[in-house]
Amino acid sequence: MLKPFTKQSNKYLINTIILVLLVFSKTLLALDSDKDADFLLEGDNFKNLPVVENNLTQIKYWGNISIQQGTLKIKSDEAIIFNDKGGVAKVHLTGSPVKMEQIVDVEFGKIDIVAKDIDFRVNEDLLIMTGNVVIKSKIQGEMRGEKITMNLKTKEIKGEKSDNQRVKLIIKSKKDNE
């Protein structure tokens, strides 16, 4: 039998949703040690693309791409690195799917992200994930959507539906988390 929402349960639900969104928004801030770790990118092939667009040079990697920096681990089919005078400006990852994992901190543990396309705009602190996006955290639950955007500066998360799929947030019961 379903229980009707009360002011108390509605307040609990809203607070839980806010907490989950805050946790997911911190995911790419991760461990401080990750920022100081070496950035390692490997792939079967690479090509320095001589085309310069918007003052950005491009390097394309394809075939079994692996990226690691501290606890951050990414697997994709293709990666294009866009560089400017200041270093890496943007990383565009595509795959069937792209898989990403990172340990947020001791309290929240590891998150897993799966998407067909991840566009990390380093200069804007913006992560744009598209194509059957799934973000999972053992402690906080699961978020799904066709497009999920994370602003790493403001910690804003925005999910957008596709023609036939709405954005979904699944919060595990306390019993499942014990």
Domain ranges of the chain: 30-177
What does the radius of gyration of the chain's CA atoms come to, in whole angstroms?
18
Q: What DSSP designation does 29 have? A: T
CB 168 within 8 A of CB 147: no
Residues 55 and 43: their CA atoms lie apart, in Å, by 25
Take residue 135 and report the two structure tokens written for it: 């973000």
pLDDT given for residue 170 in this prediction: 81
The mean pLDDT values, 10 residues at a time, for the chain of 178 residues are: 42 44 46 73 87 84 91 92 86 94 74 92 87 83 87 78 78 64
pTM: 0.73
- Per-residue pLDDT at 127: 87
Q: What is the pLDDT of residue 40?
A: 85
CA distance 40 to 42: 7
- Rounded to whole angstroms, the Cα distance separating 178 from 172 reads 10
Per-residue model confidence (pLDDT) at position 94: 97
Looking at residue 114, what is its pLDDT?
96
- Determine the residue type at 4: P
pLDDT value at residue 118: 94
Q: Classify domain 30-177 at the CATH class level.
A: mainly beta
Q: Could you give the CA distance from residue 82 to residue 92 in angstroms, rounded to a whole number?
A: 8
pLDDT at residue 20, as a whole number: 44
